[in-house]
């Protein structure tokens, strides 16, 4: 007759290690404190200290239970500063998840658990108190502080992020590629075009690590771009250097696909002749409505004009933004060439 099994080995048989993972998981969940802690960590991430304050138990006890939960794969943690934050694992095995769901259902309305929930809410509210107090006192200085901490590129990156990432964009009159660099990470393709080799040299260097950017020399009145290739054309601070606005707009119309948009940033009409001469400007700015009318005559649907309030630190003339959409499938140039009457009806923009 075989000797009877010793009590210790019988106990071992009953552990998860020999009988299977479900029993091991049951053992972990068969403790009221561990279940309360797991419930907390399912809803939010907490540090050991915070858990101690919620469940009202000493740190040694909480740490021991967290150790057991972590060992069983129920919770994970990450360090932050001098603390370690715990949360429930997002990769629980299916049987663990089912087991936990069954246990959790039994905890609804249990007074101790409800008390934990209230204390946890207090801890979370307390976390936000510091930031609330900060913004209460810093509201008047926040814009300045924001710029000091993060610079101005954050705004541009945020707005460029409104692109879907599938667009082909033309930065027409790209200059040194300042805008191209902001747009390139968020567009499928950005073609940066300028006629000045010196400006393009700076742009090429700036864009050397942007695979979606192409830098091409060319004139806006004869764009080196296939017809209908662009979804968006940006023409920023360029038109006051352009001799024949109509020719440029006709080209922008040609290279945009139907429904494509042009975004123009320009100088408002001004009387600063000395400034304009120094900068080589051909136009003393524009009346935005006049540009919009000109675009309308070439097959663009206006999408609106926005005046940009001058910044106190900027000493150049005021600016505006004008947006328009390329209509249907009309070829403006073709229309003009085929029908001289159309050209005659177009508004003529007078130099100011
Ligand atoms: C004031 S910079 C603006 C650069 C850039 N768009 C920006 O917003 O910073 C004007 C640029 O337009 C370019 N430009 C002017 N007329 C042009 C034309 N007809 N064709 C191509 N580029 C032109 C100039 O070479 C110059 O680089």
DSSP 240-292: GG-S-HHHHHHHHHHHEEEEEEEEEEEEBP---HHHHHHHT-SSS-B-HHHHH
Residue 145 in any domain: the answer is no
**The total number of structural domains that make up the chain:** 2
> Do 95 and 193 share a domain, yes or no?
no
Is the same domain home to 188 and 251?
Answer: yes
Three-class SS state of 231: strand
CB atoms within 10 A of CB 276: 19
Q: Whose CA is nearest to atom 8 of ligand 1?
A: 236
Statement to judge: residues 238 and 311 lie in one domain: yes
CATH number at residue 210: 3.40.50.150
The residue whose C-alpha atom lies closest to atom 2 belonging to ligand 1 is 175
- Give the confidence band of 314 by pLDDT, cuts at 50, 70, 90: confident
Q: What is the CA radius of gyration of the chain?
A: 33
Assess whether pLDDT exceeds 80 at residue 312: no
Question: In angstroms, what is the span from residue 199 Cα to ligand 1's centroid?
Answer: 8
- Among 178, 195, 248, which residue has the most ligand 1 atoms within 8 Å of its CB, making it the best to mutate? 195
- Name the residue at shortest CA distance from atom 26 of ligand 1: 175
Q: Are strands 189-194 and 168-172 parallel, antiparallel or unpaired?
A: parallel
Residue span of the structural domain in which 332 resides? 150-345
The CATH number of residue 70's host domain is: 1.10.10.10
Contacts of 311 (CB under 8 A, 6+ apart): none
* SS3 category, 214: strand
Token pair recorded at residue 36: 């309360």
The helix or strand, by DSSP H or E, that contains position 298, with its residue range, turns out to be: helix 288-298
Q: How far apart are CA 56 and CA 35, in angstroms?
A: 14
Residues with CB under 6 A from ligand 1: 173-175, 178-179, 194-196, 199, 219-221, 236-238, 241-242
Both 264 and 303 in a single domain? Answer: yes
Q: Please answer whether residues 300 and 249 qualify as being in contact, where contact means their C-beta atoms are separated by less than 8 angstroms.
A: yes
Q: How far is ligand 1, taken at its centre, from the CA of residue 135, in Å?
A: 41
Atom from ligand 1 closest to the CA of residue 175: 27
State percent of the chain over pLDDT 70: 88
Residue 5: is its pLDDT beyond 50? Answer: no
CA of 185 to the centre of ligand 1 (A): 22
CA of 236 to the centre of ligand 1 (A): 8
Same domain, 270 and 293: yes
* Statement to judge: residues 71 and 169 lie in one domain: no
- The residue-averaged pLDDT of 288-302 equals 97
Backbone φ, ψ for residue 262 (5° rounding): -115, 135
Burial readout 294-317 (b: 16 or more C-beta within 10 A, e: otherwise): bbebbbbebeebeeeeeeeeeeeb
Q: 276 CA to middle of ligand 1, Å?
A: 15
Model confidence at 131, in pLDDT bands (50, 70, 90)? confident
Structural domain contains residue 169: yes
């Amino acid at each position: 007759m075989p000797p009877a099994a010793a009590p210790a080995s019988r106990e071992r048989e009953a552990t998860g290690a020999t009988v299977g993972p479900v029993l091991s998981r049951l053992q972990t969940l068969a403790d009221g404190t561990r279940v309360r802690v797991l419930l907390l960590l399912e809803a939010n991430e907490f540090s050991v200290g915070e858990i101690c304050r919620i469940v009202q138990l000493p740190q040694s006890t909480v740490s021991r239970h967290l150790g057991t939960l972590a060992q069983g794969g129920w919770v994970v943690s990450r360090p932050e500063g001098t603390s370690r934050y715990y949360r429930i694992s997002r990769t629980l095995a299916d049987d663990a998840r089912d087991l936990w769901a069954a246990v959790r259902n039994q905890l609804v309305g249990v007074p101790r658990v409800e008390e934990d929930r209230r204390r946890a809410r207090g801890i979370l509210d307390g976390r936000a108190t510091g930031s609330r107090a900060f913004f209460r006192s810093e509201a008047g200085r926040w814009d300045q502080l924001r710029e000091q901490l993060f610079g101005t590129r954050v705004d541009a990156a945020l707005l460029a992020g409104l692109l879907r990432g599938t667009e082909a964009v033309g930065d027409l009159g790209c200059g040194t590629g300042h805008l191209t660099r902001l747009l390139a990470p968020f567009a499928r393709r950005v073609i940066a075009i300028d006629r000045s080799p010196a400006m393009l040299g700076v742009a090429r260097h700036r864009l050397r690590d942007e695979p979606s950017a192409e830098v091409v020399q060319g004139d806006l009145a004869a764009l080196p771009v296939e017809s209908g290739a662009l979804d968006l054309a940006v023409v920023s601070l360029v038109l006051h250097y352009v001799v024949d606005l109509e020719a440029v707009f006709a080209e922008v119309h040609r290279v945009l696909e139907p429904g494509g948009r042009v975004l123009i940033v320009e100088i408002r009409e001004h009387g600063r002749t000395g400034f304009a001469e120094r900068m080589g400007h051909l136009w003393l700015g524009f009346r935005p409505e006049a540009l919009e009318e000109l675009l309308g005559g070439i097959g663009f649907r206006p999408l609106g004009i926005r005046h940009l309030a001058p910044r106190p630190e900027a000493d150049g003339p005021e600016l505006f933004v004008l947006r328009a959409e390329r209509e249907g499938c009309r070829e403006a140039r073709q229309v003009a060439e085929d029908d001289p009457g159309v050209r005659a009806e177009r508004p003529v923009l007078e130099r100011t």
